[in-house]
Chain A
């Protein structure tokens, strides 16, 4: 993985010192609260319901065991012994004190981390496929491009005061695991059909929030060397033309929607043509330097099948199920990518205690070349585990309550913090996730149901991605009571779709029963091997309408 050089390091150190001075100027009155707000947001500091919240960037979801241990230390020292991994591959601490924040940032800088641009109206932490570099279906590793964009977007002189936040995601694989179409800019690495050269397909104008939209392709093929000049052109068009009169209409998706994708494309191409590309683009040696950092680790040459794994799978059904559900096909024979679930039945999705973080760091050191990933499903990946080591890893994880076998299944729920932490919430989301997971706790039943993603948001801002959940749940408030709106058919992958509303809102207590009825209809209708989303697409929403029993009122 990428390691900071002296320049990255002094950049981040200076940024900490700058923030320390900004906090001091806020305290002595030189900065008003209004002036300080974007500055603190650009350093990841939110004001929440009960306290400040610090959101730390895990760029493109990749971190080392050393960094994970430092997060554990931060959780112990300045929080309540845990952290919350988010859908944007970040980690949030929910209880820091303002005066401690500069020290927390310093502790991050000490291990080459930061909280830069995890919030605010700027280019946010770039996210990527969590199986980058190891997925069998990959055209090219997206991490070098993601790192290049991390650097380019950091403290951008022109694009730090945008109309609204701006999120970029990238994948290098056929199957989109990075939800790129739900981002302001989505980037897919592909091969040029004629030349075979790799380049980028760029989409723009995706986004969730109160007006969900799927991104549209603005460039079919961008040569790799043109990436930064092209992004600069696109950002300039957005910075100049994006609406600023209404914050709910300020995202680039609204601009694209209002002017249309063709005029948007023309404006960006005109700006791109006028840009002096040589003055903007990095030289090829710089690209090479970054690529070098993502060379594969020193894999052993192994047969793809592991006799050891086969023996233990045969002897231990629970282990075999975990392997079947939580491991993923690896490029390298004899290796697996393992997803560690942060969704134990009854837990808060994405929460990990400091002890668990240390256990994960230890496991990464022992079994995965000291590297970890955070997924936008709020789980952790150990990307490079020998199949021979899976049994020992599983035992160790089980000792820390990290061996839940539910990746991609109905209890692998994404949920935003909701009413428990968030000042904008209109309803609870974590307790809803817990109730659903408890209802479907049986591992056999979960496997029978198969792949099914539930996503829950506690208000219309859609932090829990409910629009693109196979089953989406949006918590609203209706005459003083929580009312949950259910959508079906959402999809965050390469077949991206926004879910359709199933019917009137459902009360909190009725959610598990409602889901049960939806699942029963699916199981009654499905053809063999059909996933929920496929059945839904085939039979349509009307078949599911009966699942809703309206709130009495």
Chain B
């Protein structure tokens, strides 16, 4: 699966476990929340190499206790037009999640700046999707609008802050 990270297609070091695939003894894996107990039976309680995949309607209360120790959360985008994952990411970051936040699904390159601003680090798309949404498109998307208006999102500067800075200057 192509992974877009810092404007580039990079190798994915995480393995997304299929439903019928048993939890391996080691290696970085991404599993749905429901399989966490099973994984802990195999690997003990440490979460160091376990990533959790969440539906975009996941109950946030269920993951709050895990947030300080989880290295990765993957959020499902069932369709690019379904923006719920953006709000879920924003809430997870507000709750202090410091690990890697990954969007999983057919996002289009034009949404890359949205995803980054809401707190995602990387986007996981399918091989076939990557044939049309190529690396150059993702890179171009981050530069298409240099400054946005909304404060409180993850990005380097906003129009409002730049205006404030020029008032101070």
Residues of chain A touching chain B, judged by Cβ–Cβ distance below 8 Å, are 5, 7-8, 10-11, 14-15, 17-18, 21-22, 25, 29-32, 35, 38-39, 121, 151-152, 154-162, 228, 232, 236, 239-240, 244, 274-276, 279-283, 285-286, 289
Q: With A22-B110, A121-B81, A240-B84 known to touch, is A15 a contact of B151 (CB < 8 Å)? A: no
Distance (whole angstroms) from the CB of A35 to the closest CB of chain B: 5
Asked if B163 is at the interface of the complex by the 8 Å CB criterion, the answer is yes
Alpha-carbon distance A39/B86, docked complex (angstroms): 17
Residue of B nearest to A277 (CB): B152
Residue of B nearest to A10 (CB): B146
Asked if B114 is at the interface of the complex by the 8 Å CB criterion, the answer is yes
Interface string of B132-169 (1 = CB under 8 A from A): 11100100100011111111110100011011100100
Within B83-103, the residues touching A (CB, 8 Å) are 83-84, 86-88, 90-91, 94
B145 contacts A30, C-beta separation under 8 Å: no
Distance (whole angstroms) from the CB of B166 to the closest CB of chain A: 9
Q: Which of B57, B81, B113, B155 contacts A161 (CB 8 A)?
A: B81
Question: Which secondary structure characterizes the binding site on chain A?
Answer: helix
Closest 9 CB pairs of A and B: A161-B83, A157-B117, A280-B152, A279-B152, A7-B159, A18-B144, A151-B149, A157-B114, A158-B86
Alpha-carbon distance A286/B161, docked complex (angstroms): 9
Kindly state the interface size class of chain B when it binds its partner: 35 or more
Asked if B80 is at the interface of the complex by the 8 Å CB criterion, the answer is yes
Residue of B nearest to A289 (CB): B163
Residue of A nearest to B90 (CB): A158
Please indicate the chain A residues that have their CB under 8 angstroms from the CB of B114 in the complex.
157-158, 160-161
Q: With A35-B108, A158-B90, A161-B83 known to touch, is A11 a contact of B145 (CB < 8 Å)? A: yes
A239 contacts B83, C-beta separation under 8 Å: yes
Please indicate the chain B residues that have their CB under 8 angstroms from the CB of A5 in the complex.
163
B147 contacts A160, C-beta separation under 8 Å: no
Residue of B nearest to A156 (CB): B150
9 A-B pairs with C-beta separation under 8 A? A7-B147, A7-B162, A11-B159, A15-B145, A30-B133, A35-B80, A154-B148, A244-B84, A276-B152
A157 contacts B148, C-beta separation under 8 Å: yes
Instruction: Name, among A156, A158, A239, A286, the residue most crowded by chain B CB atoms within 10 Å (CB to CB).
Output: A158
B82 contacts A157, C-beta separation under 8 Å: no
B86 contacts A161, C-beta separation under 8 Å: yes
Distance (whole angstroms) from the CB of B119 to the closest CB of chain A: 10
Alpha-carbon distance A31/B111, docked complex (angstroms): 13
Distance (whole angstroms) from the CB of B63 to the closest CB of chain A: 15
Q: Which of A155, A275, A276, A280 contacts B145 (CB 8 A)?
A: A155
Instruction: Name, among B111, B144, B164, the residue most crowded by chain A CB atoms within 10 Å (CB to CB).
Output: B144
Alpha-carbon distance A236/B84, docked complex (angstroms): 9
Residue of B nearest to A285 (CB): B167
Asked if B118 is at the interface of the complex by the 8 Å CB criterion, the answer is yes
Alpha-carbon distance A502/B90, docked complex (angstroms): 49
Residue of B nearest to A232 (CB): B152
Residue of B nearest to A242 (CB): B84
Known: A232-B152, A280-B151. 17 other contacts (CB 8 A): A11-B145, A11-B149, A15-B145, A18-B110, A22-B110, A30-B137, A31-B108, A35-B80, A39-B110, A155-B145, A157-B150, A157-B155, A160-B83, A160-B114, A161-B83, A161-B114, A285-B164
B145 contacts A236, C-beta separation under 8 Å: no
B150 contacts A152, C-beta separation under 8 Å: yes
Alpha-carbon distance A161/B140, docked complex (angstroms): 20
Q: With A15-B145, A161-B82 known to touch, is A281 a contact of B151 (CB < 8 Å)? A: yes
B118 contacts A157, C-beta separation under 8 Å: yes
Please indicate the chain B residues that have their CB under 8 angstroms from the CB of A15 in the complex.
145
Please indicate the chain A residues that have their CB under 8 angstroms from the CB of B80 in the complex.
35, 161
B150 contacts A286, C-beta separation under 8 Å: no
Please indicate the chain A residues that have their CB under 8 angstroms from the CB of B133 in the complex.
30
Please indicate the chain B residues that have their CB under 8 angstroms from the CB of A155 in the complex.
145, 148-149
B153 contacts A158, C-beta separation under 8 Å: yes
Distance (whole angstroms) from the CB of A412 to the closest CB of chain B: 37
Residue of A nearest to B149 (CB): A151
B81 contacts A282, C-beta separation under 8 Å: no
Please indicate the chain A residues that have their CB under 8 angstroms from the CB of B81 in the complex.
38, 121, 161
Alpha-carbon distance A359/B35, docked complex (angstroms): 70
Alpha-carbon distance A247/B155, docked complex (angstroms): 32
Alpha-carbon distance A66/B81, docked complex (angstroms): 37
Q: With A39-B110, A239-B83, A240-B87 known to touch, is A158 a contact of B149 (CB < 8 Å)? A: no
Residue of B nearest to A158 (CB): B86
